[in-house]
Structure 1
Amino acid sequence: MMSPGPINGEHPIPHHPIRSARIVGDDGEESVVATVYCPLKERSTTVPECESCHRFHALHFDAASRTTSVVCHSGPASRGEERADPLRGVGRPVNPEAPLADIMTRDVVCVRPEVTVDEITALLVRHGISGMPVVDAEGKPVGMVSRADVLRAAQERGDTEESERLTLRRDEVAPLDIEQGFHVYEPVETTARDIMTPVVLQMHESASIRQAASLMAYEGVHRLPVTSDDGKVVGILSALDVLRWFGRSCGYLIPPARKRA
């Protein structure tokens, strides 16, 4: 579908990108929660709810960036233009009050606390990221796990796996034919819960870039989960996201983040 352009000299209709939170469970299954930020309500909403609004115009797919946006009559075109084309903005002054909904990474990968370190390692490599939020059953952040946490766990584990003793009743058959006096031990897998940072610094999607950048610098963190009104993760802000936003605001053409297949 083509994006609506200027009509009779009017501004283009604003575009609002659809965000997706991919939550990986301990069984390896992914669930995807799609939302869109409404600048009028100043909160996230589901795509079906957005489509039922009288301001809704269409869904637009951009082949170059492979992103889908909601096109609606929701506000000033200037804000929508920044969403529709992140490379535009040459000559515009840096706006420290820009909301995180416009700047954050909109496709965020999350894991449940029960996901193993091996699966976390695979996700980090597959998606080309260095960290991800750990969320509960409702999609609310309970911790952060990073590449450094994975490496630290591997170093502490060394060549041996932590194990737990397996006790059998007399009427049970032992998995191995072992002699009296020997015991069977099963390896205990390390999970996100074991290695994550349990204290979560997070910000609401309507918070400004100056607030987020100040918090990240003060706390010395490289990423922040971005949450909606109900506390669920709808995006993530990384230090690179802040640098991309600053470069674009200064007039430089910065390409979108590269994604690995």
Structure 2
Amino acid sequence: MSWSLSIGKIAGTVVRIHLTFLLFLAWIFAAGYARGGGTAAWDSVIFMLLLFGCVLLHEFGHIFTARAFGVSTPFVTLLPIGGVAQLERIPEEPSQEFLIAIAGPLVNVAIAALLILFGGAELTQNAAAAIDNSQISMVDRLAAVNLFLALFNLIPAFPMDGGRILRAALAAKLGYVRATEIAAAIGQFVAFALGFIGLMVNPILIFIAIFVYLAASGEAHMVALRAVSRGVPVSHAMMTQFAALAPEAHVDEAVQTLLATSQGEFPVVDAGGKPVGLLARGDIIKAIKTLGPDARVADSMNPDFPTIGHRSSLDEAFKLLQEKAAVAVGVTDASGRLTGLITSETIAEMVMLGDSLPKDMRGPWGRTAGV
């Protein structure tokens, strides 16, 4: 996720913090100071840091449960409205997704229980209604807000955990794609409701509503991409007409190629046609500004260019795009020469074409299959 800083690694997962989170802390401090001076300001900041510690534990509930099913999590990002754990793939079995989704809220319930049993916390109406009130015990407020987080995340709508639980419950009968569409539609409805309430009560709810809507829409789109890629040979969807660059070529040549084509990603191949890296539009712009037009492409390219064989399925390419956070996947022939390119836009075009595609280009999980 852009605009994020890595602050460390826990159990193999990189922890990132979005820059807006730092702005959020500054706003919390200012609001607390205006309300009750320095003491209230620092109380608000400390409480918020403890709260996001609980959010991080919530995310690691998902992460460790996913790991038990062989699904790794490269990184987790803390945002002003919560955390996002990036699973390398969506689990295939609905029961696995159910357990991964429910693990997060259960962590919050466990934290609240520990604070009540061993921290002396009391669940009072004041603690639940005024978590920013420094006159109320911090453990009371933390216990209350953890229970709130558990309940809020169980709302059966994307991107909340409840949406994933709902999808897992529906997927067995309706299929994965239809179940996702229902959960995403509920998420979009919740977003509109939050936005409407925000107009009358608190503008922050509008910001949350935008996030919920975009996340719900993004989940539905991602599942549609994944569905249409199932069972389709990669050779049926790959780009075969594309410009490539040599490692010894100058950045100026890459600029000219960028301007002359509609491509955004350029494979770098050796004299034998075998891929050695990838140069994306952003890499070219950065190179021309920092290294100059005479720099070599080899010094600016990303050598971690994932490739698959030409007999692979489109689904394998899609998984590589997700797992590697790659902008493109190369397709190679039996001798290792680059013969095609797959990007997320390639798969998105197949989704848009839908039923107009030839039958051999519709995966068994595609929309026409009704899964």
TM-score (norm 1): 0.47
Structure with the larger RCO, 1 or 2 (CA within 8 Å, 6+ apart): 1
Higher helix share: 2
From the CA coordinates, give the structure whose radius of gyration is larger. Answer: 2
